[in-house]
Amino acid sequence: MKILLTYPYKEDAYRKVGFILPPLGIAYIAAMLRENGHDVRIVDYNVTDEKTDFGKFDLVGISTDTSRYKSSLRIAKDAKAAGCTVVMGGPHVSYRDEEALRTEFCDFVVREEGEQTMLELAGAMSTKQTADVQGISYLSNGKLQRNPGRGFMENIDHLLPARDLLDMNAYRHLEMGGRKMTSILTSRGCPFGCSFCCSTEFSGRTWRARSPLKVVDEITEIVTQYGFDGIAFLDDNFTLDPGRVVSICEEILRRNLDIYWWCFSRADTLLKNEDMVALMALAGCKYIFIGFESRHQKTLDSYHKKTSDVMPRDVTRLLKRHRISVHGSFIIGHPHETRDMIRDTIRYAKEINPQAVQFTILTPYPGTRLYEDVQDRIICRDWDLYDCLHSVIRTDHLSRKDLEGLLKKAYASFYLSPNKIMAGLFSSLRGKGIKLSSIIKIFRGL
């Protein structure tokens, strides 16, 4: 079957600052389909403005997160008009399947992890036996048919994305400390269940990880075959198993891989495992992205974050000692938050002084516990605005305008402090860390 897999365009803040990564989700699906005899092409509309001739394909698949949903419908409409079968997958439609199907531009939704489901669906389409395919939704005589869920693959060690079907040269602009950076995913799932994040529901509470040797084999291939020397580990929680991280680092060092890398982690794991942190630094870890979320313990507890409000300070100190930069992420706009509480969080960010911060506005994504909890507070259902920069829920003390204003003030207050400007100037001169040009780009992105 001739299959096109697409990643919709979105002019978001990340794109504006040049943070464009290859769409690994559809690259994994492409690999699985190709291995099983299908003829597959991938188009990422964030790096090409080609006018695709959809008529050449039997099936068009579209990857859809919430803020890309409207953009994905435009692809679906054109593909449908060209006579293709349209399949949507990804975190948005997994929980809003009916909404997508009722547009009549989408024939099937693949819910949650997509590799096996998409393969079976492509096979079933020739025989029209879709009723047996687990994990899909479709309309049958106008009624929603939601087949039973598939569950998650227990073993993901064999999975590799088809990077060769992506135009990897189009993603070469992203740099970290002068290194060309690209992404890799080495585990799936998250046992923590933070209320604003869909990962536990979407990828499962049971964490599944690739073996250290397979991980470093993939890194080696990225370095030797694609010429990248910077790696972004996109795992929701790369350090969940410290023993595995240690093995990965040891293997990177054993193979003399000269790479810089960053990952997502949690403050508590890092604080408990300083030996692991030291080894990570030795193996090229330059940045760790940590969700600090709030200054206030009550707010952290209501997110079910299971961390304490002193951890951001302690972990920033720890990582600074090991010369690993911290990218701290804070959320504003909890329904009960006051202006003063948000100011506390901004002050705290400045006080602990990580190298970079991200402030976002609390956004209820379908599939999260938060989405269920704030149903009666949702005041905006324009999915384009679900980008964490817009306020979409009614809060007790602050208006949408207040919150969006506070978000800009948070960035300005952090990045335009004399300390940060000087640090930016020095790192620009040394070609390290967050550069002044990056700070300017961040403001342009907002």
For residue 102, what are the contacts with CB-CB under 8 A and spacing of at least 6?
A: 139
Q: Map residues 193-232 to x or -, x wherever contact with ligand B12 holds by CB under 6 A.
A: ----xxx---------------------------------
List the one residue from 33, 40, 62, 300 that touches ligand B12 (CB under 6 A).
Answer: 62
Neighbours of 50 (CB within 10 A): 8
Closest to 118 in 3D by CA, of 207, 34, 7:
34
| DSSP character at residue 176 | E
Q: Which of residues 348-367 bind ligand B12 (CB under 6 A)?
A: 360, 365-366
**17, 24, 257, 324: residue in contact with ligand B12 (rule CB under 6 A):** 24
- From first CA to last CA, the distance across the chain in angstroms is 42
DSSP 8-state assignment for residue 205:
S
The secondary element (H helix, E strand) that includes residue 86 is strand 85-89
Q: Which residues pair with 361 in a beta bridge?
A: 332
Provide, rounded to whole angstroms, the least separation between the CB of residue 140 and ligand B12: 19
Q: Is 446 in the site for ligand B12 (CB under 6 A)?
A: no
For residue 422, the tally of other CB atoms under 10 A from its CB is: 11
Closer CB to ligand B12, residue 193 or residue 335? 193
Tokens 């705290």 appear where? 348
The yes or no reply on residue 25 touching ligand B12 (CB under 6 A) is yes
Q: Which stretch binds ligand B12 (CB under 6 A): 61-69, 247-255, 279-287, 307-315?
A: 61-69
Listed ranges 55-63, 162-170, 248-256, 398-406: which one lies at the site for ligand B12 (CB under 6 A): 55-63
Give CA 222 to chain center in angstroms.
20
97 touches ligand B12 (CB under 6 A):
no
Query: Counting contacts by CB under 6 A, is residue 26 touching ligand B12?
Result: yes
CA distance 349 to 328: 8
Written as six digits, the tokens of 377 are 């507070």
Nearest CA-CA partner of 182 in 168, 195, 193, 194: 168
Residue of 306, 408, 311, 296 whose CA lies nearest to 352: 311
Closest contact distance (angstroms) between CB of 169 and ligand B12 is 15
Minimum distance, C-beta of residue 360 to ligand B12, in the bound complex (Å): 5
Within residues 385-414, the interface with ligand B12 by CB under 6 A covers 387-388
Subset of residues 2 to 21 that bind ligand B12, contact rule: CB under 6 A: 5, 10, 12, 14, 19, 21
Q: Which part of the chain contacts ligand B12 (CB under 6 A), choosing from 85-93, 275-283, 301-309, 344-352? A: 85-93
DSSP 335-371: TT--HHHHHHHHHHHHHH--SEEEEEE----TTSHHH
- Which residue's CB atom is positioned nearest to ligand B12? 89
Other Cβ atoms closer than 10 A to 195: 18
Which is nearer to ligand B12, 384 or 402 (by Cβ)? 384
Q: Which is nearer to ligand B12, 14 or 443 (CB)?
A: 14
| By CB under 6 A, residue 99 contacts ligand B12 | no
Q: Rule CB under 6 A: which residues touch ligand B12?
A: 5, 10, 12, 14, 19, 21-26, 28-29, 61-63, 65-68, 87, 89-92, 110, 113-115, 118, 185, 197-199, 234, 236, 360, 365-366, 387-388
